[in-house]
Amino acid sequence: MLAQRYPTVYDGIAAGAPAIYWPELFASMQWAEVFMNSIGEYPHLCELNALTEAAVKKCDGLDGAVDGVIGDVDACLGKFDPFKAVGQPVNCSIPGAPATISKTAAAVANATWNGPIEANGRRIWYGLDPGADINGQGPYSPPGGTSGLATTRCVDGKCSAVTFPLADFWVRYFVARDPTFKVGNITRAQYESLTRFARQEYRSIATDFADLYEFRQAGGKLVTYHGLVSLPLRSTSRTRAVTNTTEADPIVPPKGTTHYHEAVRTLMSDTNGFYRHYDIPGMAHCFGGPSGQPESLFSQLRAWVENGTAPGSSPVNLMVANQTHHRILCPYPQKAKFDKKCGDTAAGKCWGCQGKL
């Protein structure tokens, strides 16, 4: 918002996991529950955990290294089909839990990963990346199992959806403007209607204005980054322990940030001269996970502002099996790829940025 509305306040801005596009963002937080209610079926948490594991196993090596981190989530969406995992065993100690992954679980995971759509097929917003903590079982999720976007509660073998707290607050107080409104009971048609209203009513706080002309003219430099993390799920009586399980930002879809970057690029052909974005495999929502924070990005931003040195790749550390691996982050849309000829996945020099900037 500072870059958009007050372009001369800061010479440089670093924004991590920015919660922009508010109406669409909150719609994405509510989508999994609406989808489950629309089909009248609710998967067990253990099934969703098993699908997360399967996605990591299938997609881990897409960046050239098997390290428990999905480095190329876009490729993963095309490579891993959750419906092909239906029937695979589920290792769960909870009484009454299914022994295999159901078609319902595959459908819910697929809907959560791909994001909300209207009944006519039009996309509302993006979903979470494969491997995200969609059911609130990650170690950085609050205890109680209500923080996942696709959380269910099962009692005596019967499961129901759990409303995500932020979505509940948004709909009741901002959109419906009725503290007694039952968010968990809305139909898909009501969901679409409320989302359309929110888009009109709250565009002013969406911070999605892509014309950064004034910021650029003032000499401003902008860096955004978003975590695509890998974390173990919490070991409780509700779910077994899982190691090296990718958990992308479980609240704010990372593709929302790349969407904004693309919107700016569409309007301004010289975007790379003042705005660069970085996806961070292994880091959660701003912090946490096996990846360290992008600590060098701020000094690179400062060099960009003061010396005109635009940031390229940026170093970052990744913990793999309790060992520190040195990796690099690449400015979007480039991706970090491992050079097999170099031979050492733990050496930053063996990684390079591929693709056109």
Q: 276-287: per-residue pLDDT in tens?
A: 999 998 787 777
Q: Quick check: 23 pLDDT over 60?
A: yes
Per residue in 80-104, pLDDT tens?
Answer: 999 999 999 998 888 888 999 999 9
Distances in Å between the alpha carbon of 189 and those of 35, 117, 195, 198? 11, 11, 10, 14
- φ, ψ for residue 32 (rounded to 5)? -60, -40
Phi, psi of 261 (to 5 degrees): -60, -40
- Its pTM stands at 0.90
Q: Which secondary structure element, helix H or strand E, spans residue 278, and what is its range?
A: strand 275-281
Asked if residue 7 has a cis previous peptide bond (ω within 30° of 0), the answer is: no
Is residue 241 predicted with pLDDT exceeding 70? no
20, 258 Cβ separation under 8 angstroms: no
Confidence class of residue 322 from pLDDT cuts 50, 70 and 90?
confident
Using an 8 Å Cβ cutoff, are 31 and 219 in contact?
A: no
Cα angle 29, 226, 81; round to 5:
60
Q: Which pLDDT score, from 0 to 100, does residue 143 have?
A: 55
pLDDT recorded at residue 233: 44
Percent of the chain with pLDDT over 70: 91
Residue 113 has pLDDT above 80, yes or no: yes
What pLDDT is recorded for position 39?
A: 96
Distance CA 2, CA 215 (A): 9
| Average pLDDT estimate for 327-351 | 95
**What pLDDT was estimated at residue 242?**
34
Average pLDDT on 255-273 reads: 96
* Residues of the chain above pLDDT 90, percent: 71
Q: What is the mean pLDDT of the segment spanning 122-129?
A: 94
Strand partners, 337: 352
pLDDT band, very low/low/confident/very high, at 240 (cuts 50, 70, 90): very low
pLDDT at 156: 84
- pLDDT single digits (tens) 192-218: 999 999 999 999 999 999 999 999 999
pLDDT for 3? 97
Tokens 């096996």 sit on residue: 290
When comparing pLDDT for 139 and 214, which is higher?
214
Mean pLDDT of 182-197: 96
